[in-house]
Amino acid sequence: MSQRDFFSKNLTLSTEFDLSLLDHPEVAEQIPKDALIVFLPEDDQELCAYNLENAKKMKRSGQRVIYVKIKGLEPPRSRLINPQVELAPAT
> pLDDT at position 38, please?
97
Residue percentage of the chain with pLDDT more than 70: 100
The 10s digit of each residue's pLDDT in 2-40 is: 999 999 999 999 999 999 999 999 999 999 999 999 999
Residues paired with residue 69 on neighbouring β-strands, in sequence order: 40
Residue pair 64/35 in contact by the 8 Å Cβ criterion: yes
Query: By three-state DSSP, how is residue 66 classified?
Result: strand
∠ at Cα 70 (25, 14), nearest 5°?
60
> pLDDT at position 79, please?
83
In the predicted structure, residue 78 carries a pLDDT above the cut 90: no
Q: Which fold has domain 3-70?
A: Trna Endonuclease; Chain: A, domain 1 (3.40.1350)
Structural Rg of the chain based on CA atoms: 18
Query: By three-state DSSP, how is residue 52 classified?
Result: helix
The 10s digit of each residue's pLDDT in 60-70 is: 999 999 999 99
Domain ranges of the chain: 3-70
* pLDDT band (50, 70, 90) for residue 77: confident
> pLDDT at position 23, please?
94
